[in-house]
């Protein structure tokens, strides 16, 4: 009896797929050049260290609020089949995540390699210390094994890129 009830429900779910227009797809689709990406790590500002925003005329002094967010590390395939790698700092806002900064990792781009994978240090979703640690796997020769490069950003914002041991 259970299978008899599941079959019509499954059929109904499959026939109610939502169609989206091409322009809607462009709003949510990942660009074709993005070949690997991970979101990992976290950061936070100290509200006491942040300058207070100037209030608009007639408004009370704006309260300082600490900001927080995470990092996104991604690779973009170029026309010559090599990859450029970028690190973004994402801030969590009431309206959703916003890009705070984007930095190209020139140490990796200079290798003229193609990225095969990017992995976070921890896929469990819980990072206990501020900062970022991820590994970028790349090849400079299609027939060679992939090399691992570690990308780290500490709690002070310093970015380190080094070949993994």
pLDDT, tens digit, for every residue of 11-53? Answer: 544 444 455 455 554 566 789 999 999 999 999 987 555 444 5
Contact 152, 131 (CB under 8 A): yes
Q: What is the mean pLDDT of residues 94-108?
A: 95
Which residue did the predictor score with more confidence, 15 or 63? 63
pLDDT at 93 over 50: yes
Number of Cα atoms under 13 Å in the Cβ half of residue 16: 6
The rounded distance, in Å, linking the Cα atoms of 98 and 73 is 15
The rounded distance, in Å, linking the Cα atoms of 89 and 102 is 7
CB atoms within 10 A of CB 143: 5
Q: What is the mean pLDDT of residues 135-155?
A: 94
Contact 97, 72 (CB under 8 A): no
Residue 13: predicted pLDDT: 45
Contact 68, 92 (CB under 8 A): yes
DSSP 129: S
List the single range of 50-54, 67-71, 103-107 with lowest mean pLDDT.
Answer: 50-54
Longest dimension (CA), the chain: 69
Mean pLDDT, the chain, whole residue set: 81
In 7-144, DSSP assigns E strands to 34-44, 68-77, 83-93, 96-104, 114-120, 132-139
Contact 83, 106 (CB under 8 A): no
Q: What is the mean pLDDT of residues 130-151?
A: 94
pLDDT band at 58 (very low <50, low <70, confident <90, very high): low
The rounded distance, in Å, linking the Cα atoms of 37 and 140 is 19
All structural domains of the chain with their residue ranges: 32-50+60-163
Could you tell me what percent of the chain has a pLDDT over 90?
A: 58
β-strand partners of 115: 138
């Amino acid at each position: 009896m259970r299978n008899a009830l599941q079959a019509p429900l499954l059929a109904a779910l499959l026939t109610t797929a939502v169609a989206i227009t091409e322009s809607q797809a462009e709003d949510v689709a990942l660009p074709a050049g993005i070949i690997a990406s991970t979101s990992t790590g976290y950061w936070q500002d100290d509200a006491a260290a942040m300058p207070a925003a100037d209030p608009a005329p007639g408004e009370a002094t704006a309260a300082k609020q600490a900001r927080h967010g995470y990092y996104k590390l991604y690779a973009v395939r170029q026309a010559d089949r090599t990859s450029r790698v970028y690190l973004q700092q994402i801030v969590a806002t009431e309206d959703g995540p916003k890009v705070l900064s984007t930095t190209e990792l020139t140490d990796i781009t200079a290798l003229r390699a193609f990225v095969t994978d990017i992995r976070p240090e921890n896929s469990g979703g819980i990072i206990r210390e501020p900062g970022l640690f991820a590994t970028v796997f790349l090849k400079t020769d299609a027939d060679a094994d992939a090399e691992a490069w570690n990308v780290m950003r500490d709690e002070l914002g310093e970015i380190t890129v080094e070949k993994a041991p």
